[in-house]
Amino acid sequence: MALDGVMLGALAGLIALAAAALCLRQGRRAAAWRAGLLAECAALLEAPRLGRDRAGFATLEGTCAGLPVSVRLIPEALVHRRLPQLWLSVTLRVPRAGNATLDVLRRPAGAEFYAPADLPLRLEPPAGWPADTLVRGTPGAAALLRALQDETARILGDPRVKEVLATPRILRLVIQAGEGGRGAYLLLRASRFALERVDPARLDGALRDGLRLARRLSPPAPETAEESPHARAA
C-alpha cells in the first residue's frame, strides 16, 4: 500500500509538471503571437518602429505622407452579448486650427473604453448614414461634421469600421482586426482570435482613409507637387 501511494504521488507530480510545462509553452506562444501581429505591416510606414504595449500586443510607429502615425491593437471582451473583438486603432497626428472634436461611433454598446466619454453634444447622423451610428462632439463639431461628411460616409460603408475621431491634434480610425472564436468564448469565456498577423491591406486602407480625411481638414495649397504646372510639365 505504501508503494502504491508513492507511485500515485509520483504520477501526480509528473502530471503537474506536464501541465505546468504545457501552460508555459502556451503562454510563450500567446506572447509571441501578440508581439508579432503587426510584423507584416511595418513596411507600410516610413521609419517604422515596432514595439509592445503593457499587455504585450504589438505597436507600430512611423510616418505616412509626412504625418506621424501610431498603430495600436485594442482587445475588447466586455460585452457578453457578442464575441470578443480585436480592434486596429490607427492615429494620424494632424494638427489643425480650432478646438472642436467630432466622434463617430458605429454600433455603440457602452463598452467602448477607447472612445471619448466626455463629449457634451449629440448630433443627428446625416441622411444615408447607417442607423446604428452615434455622432457626438464639442461646440463647433457641426461644422467639422459638414467638412468630413462625404468622406466619412464612404468610410462607414465598410462594416468593419468602428470609430472615426477628429480632434484638434489627431485623426483616428478604429476598425475590426479580428473576432474571437465562438466555441472558446461560449465555453470558456476565452478570447481566441483566428488570425496569425494583421492583414497589411487592412492597415493600408485605414491609412488611405485617414489621409483623405486629413486633406478635407487641411486642403492642399493650389500649387502642390501633384498639380503644379511644373510637375505636370516634368
pLDDT digits (tens, 9 = 90+) for 146-165: 999 999 999 999 999 999 99
The amino acid occupying position 51 is: G
pLDDT for the residue 80:
54
- Reply yes or no on whether the pLDDT at 87 is more than 70: yes
pLDDT for the residue 184:
45
Name the one residue in this structure whose C-alpha cell is 441622411: 127
pLDDT for the residue 126:
96
Q: Is-above-0.85 flag for pTM?
A: no
Q: What is the mean pLDDT of the chain?
A: 82
- Reply yes or no on whether the pLDDT at 223 is more than 90: no
Q: Mean pLDDT highest for which of 26-40, 88-102, 167-181, 220-234?
A: 88-102
Residue 22 CA: distances (Å) to CA of 27, 82, 106, 194, 207? 8, 30, 40, 20, 40
Q: How far apart are CA 193 and CA 71, in angstroms?
A: 19
Assess contact for 71 and 89: CB atoms under 8 A: yes
Query: Where are the alpha helices (H) located in the chain, listed in sequence order?
Result: 2-36, 141-156, 182-188, 200-217, 229-233
Q: How far apart are CA 190 and CA 167, in angstroms?
A: 34
- Reply yes or no on whether the pLDDT at 17 is more than 60: no
Q: How far apart are CA 194 and CA 44, in angstroms?
A: 23
pLDDT for the residue 50:
97
Rounded to an integer, the average pLDDT of 126-154 is 95
- Reply yes or no on whether the pLDDT at 90 is more than 70: yes
pLDDT for the residue 31:
80
Rounded to an integer, the average pLDDT of 81-88 is 80
pLDDT for the residue 120:
95
- Reply yes or no on whether the pLDDT at 196 is more than 90: no
> Given pLDDT bands bounded at 50, 70 and 90, which one contains residue 189?
very low
Is pLDDT larger for residue 222 or for residue 100? Answer: 100
In the chain, % of residues over pLDDT 90: 59
**Lowest-pLDDT choice from 14-23, 125-134, 151-160:** 14-23
pLDDT for the residue 217:
86
- Reply yes or no on whether the pLDDT at 45 is more than 80: yes
Rounded to an integer, the average pLDDT of 37-61 is 95
In DSSP terms, 64 is beta-bridged to: 67
In the chain, % of residues over pLDDT 70: 73
pLDDT for the residue 225:
40
